[in-house]
Amino acid sequence: GKGIVSSSLAALLKARGYSVTIQKLDPYINIDPGTLNPYEHGECYVTEDGAETDLDLGHYERFLNIPTSQVNNITTGRVYKDVIEKERRGDFLGQTVQVIPHITDEIQRHIKLLGDSGNYDFVIIEIGGTVGDIESFPFIEAIRQLNWELGKKSVTIHLTLVPYLKTTGELKTKPTQHSVKTLLEQGVQPDIIVCRTEHDLNDALRRKIALFCNVQPSCVIQSIDVESIYEVPLLMQKEGLDREVLRLIQIPTTQEANLDYWKDFLHKLKFPKSNVTIGLVGKYVELHDAYKSIGESFIHGGVANECKVKLEYIHSEGINESNVDNKLKHLHAILVAPGFGERGIDGKIISIRYARENKIPFLGICLGMQCAVVEFARNVLTYKDAHSTEVNPKTAFPVIDLMDDKDNIPKTGGTMRLGAYPCELKEDSLAYKIYGQKHISERHRHRYEFNNKYLYEFESNGMIATGINKNQDLIEIIEIPSHPFFIGVQFHPEYKSTVAKHHPLFEHFVKAAMAYKAKNK
C-alpha cells in the first residue's frame, strides 16, 4: 500500500544521501488513533514525544531508522480542532470560517511545519483513504494548492490497483484510468503512477496507462506482489521510482542509492540457517495489524540470528487450564501481548504460568508484564485474589494499580503515560546483559503500574525488579533469575526496532527460543 511505497521511496532517497521525512494525513475525524479499537484501525503506534499515531509511522521509522513525532501524523479531527480553537480565540477577526481557505490553509500549515522543523531535503506526504472519498476532499484540495505554489519543487505520486482477471488471464487498466480521472476532477494531475499488481505489466500496458493518464511511460511504476515488504525498496529502485522523482524535480542523479546493508538484511531473511516457532498470545489475533510492530520486530530479531521466526497467533480467550498444554507445548518461546480491558486476561495468565513452570522463554509486553506480576502473586505468593485494579477495582491484593497522576481523569484520549521515558538497569540482570548498558530509554502507552507496596515480597520470592524509572520510582522491567529467560517490560520495545537497528530484546528473545529448541529436541 501507500505506506510501504512511501517508506521505500524515502529509503531510496536517504540512501542517495538526502535527508527525508514522511507525514501521514488521515481523513478520519478522530483527533488521533489512540481511542480507536485495534479491529478498526490496527495498531496504535507511539512516537518518542508521546503522540499516538497511525501504524504507517512504524513503517516510516523501520525503513528510515529516524524517529517520527506528533507532526508526522495529522488527522481531519486535529485540523478541525485547531481551526475551531483559532475561531474561538478570535484569530480570524470575525471572518466566516470555511473549508476553503481556512481548513486547507491549516492542512498546508501542518505540512510546512514538518518541513521547517528538520530542514529536510524531501518531505513525503501520504494521504490516507481512496480518491473520491468525501473525507479526503480537503486534503486533495490542499495538495492542489500546494502543487500550484511549489511548482517544480513538488511531485504527485498516485498509487492505484491494476486487478488481474483470472478467468481471462488479463490485467485491467480501466480502474486506474477512472481513478486518475476522479483525481483530475479535483484538480490534481499525477506525475507518477505506481501500479499495484499481481503480475508483471508489459510495455504495451505501461504505454496504455501513460497515454490515458497523461504521464510519461517511464513514470508508470510497477509494484508487484512480493514475499516481504522489505523487498519493495529494491523493486522500486529497479523500477526507477527515485530516479523519476529526482528528474521531475530537476535534481541531477549523480549518486546512486547505496543499499548494501538492505541487501544483506534481505539475504539473511530469505536464507535463514535455522527456525523457531514463537507464540504470540493476545486478544486481537484475528487482525495481525493489531500487533504489527511486534511482528516486524520478530523479523528483525530473526535476521539478527539468521533464524526464521514462525509467529503463531494464539487467542487468549481460547486458553484454559485443560487445553493450555495442547496449545502451547510445541512452542519454543511465548510472548504475551499488550492490550486493555478484562477480555482474554485469564488465558494470558494461564499461558504465563505454563511458560514459567515449564522453563519456556517468556517475554511480556505492557499488559503482558502486568499479567506476569498477577500470575506470580497468585501462584507463588499465594494471593489468590491478586489482580490489576483495571480489571478488578476491589481486589484485596492490587499488585497492579492506577498511576497516582492518572486518578480521576474524565477523558480517555491522550491521557496515558505516553512516549519515551528513562530506565536504569541493574548491572547483574538479564536486561543489562541484553542492552549492554545501564541507562536506556523506551516508549510507553499505559495507565497502570506495578504496585511498589508489594516489591519486597516479590523480590524475596524470586521475581526481581531489574529496570526502574528513578525519576518517578516506577518499575519498568521484572525478571525471574532462576528461569532461563523470563522477562516482562512495562514499555513497548517493538516501537524502536528498525531494519538498520534491531531491538536487542527481540534479538535475545529469539536467541533464547533457539537455545530452548536445541535443548528440547
388, containing H or E segment: strand 387-388
- Between CA 445 and CA 447 the distance in angstroms is 7
Instruction: Give, to the nearest 10 degrees, the angle between helix 56-64 and helix 2-15.
Output: 20
- DSSP structure class, residue 496: G
Grid cell, residue 270, equals 530469505
What is the SS3 assignment for 219? helix
Is 492 a known active-site residue?
A: yes
- Order of all β-strands in the sheet with 464-469: 307-315, 274-282, 333-336, 362-365, 486-489, 474-479, 464-469, 417-425, 439-446
Per-residue cell: 407: 486518578
Kindly list the distances between the CA atom of residue 441 and the CA atoms of 140, 450, 464, 508, in Å, as whole numbers in the listed order.
38, 18, 20, 18
| Catalytic residue from among 59, 492, 503, 508 | 492
Task: Compute the distance between CA of residue 16 and CA of residue 495 in angstroms, rounded to an integer.
Answer: 26
Kindly name the residue from 219, 366, 371, 423 that is annotated as catalytic. Answer: 366
158 is catalytic: no
What is the DSSP secondary-structure string of 19-76?
Answer: -EEEEEEE-SSSSSGGGS-HHHH-PPEE-TT--EE-THHHHHHHHH-----GGGEEEH
305: CB partners within 8 A, 6+ apart: 274, 507, 510, 511, 514
| Burial class of 202 by CB neighbour count within 10 A (0 to 12, 13 to 18, 19+) | exposed
- Cα 438 to Cα 160: distance, rounded to the nearest angstrom: 48
Catalytic entry in 43, 239, 494, 507? 494
Based on the residue annotation, tell me whether 85 is a catalytic residue of this protein: no
- The residue count of the chain comes to 521
C-beta separation of 421 from 491 below 8 A: yes
Active site residues: 366, 492, 494
